[in-house]
Amino acid sequence: MLSVLLNLTNGVLDLYKMKLVEHSSEYLSTIQVPFAYNLDADCPLFKFVSS
């Protein structure tokens, strides 16, 4: 299965699974977005619809 990963300050987020994992050298990411992932954050501008 294809993974789309986003390197954040508090871990690496798999955008397909919406799962945050710890940083690891196996991801080979050299660029980090200067934000932390917060599962409980509320964003009224964007709402995700699950199917």
Q: What strand order describes the sheet that includes 5-8?
A: 5-8, 11-14, 19-21
State pTM to two decimals. Answer: 0.74
At residue 8, the pLDDT reads 96
Per the CB < 8 A criterion, the answer to whether 21 and 27 are in contact is: no
Q: What is the C-alpha separation between 35 and 15, in angstroms, rounded?
A: 15
Phi, psi dihedrals of residue 27, rounded to the nearest 5°: -85, -15
Model confidence at 51: pLDDT above 80:
no
Q: What are the domain boundaries of the chain?
A: 1-38
At residue 33, the pLDDT reads 95
Q: What is the C-alpha separation between 25 and 17, in angstroms, rounded?
A: 20
pLDDT digits (tens, 9 = 90+) for 4-49: 999 999 999 999 988 999 999 998 888 999 999 998 888 777 666 6
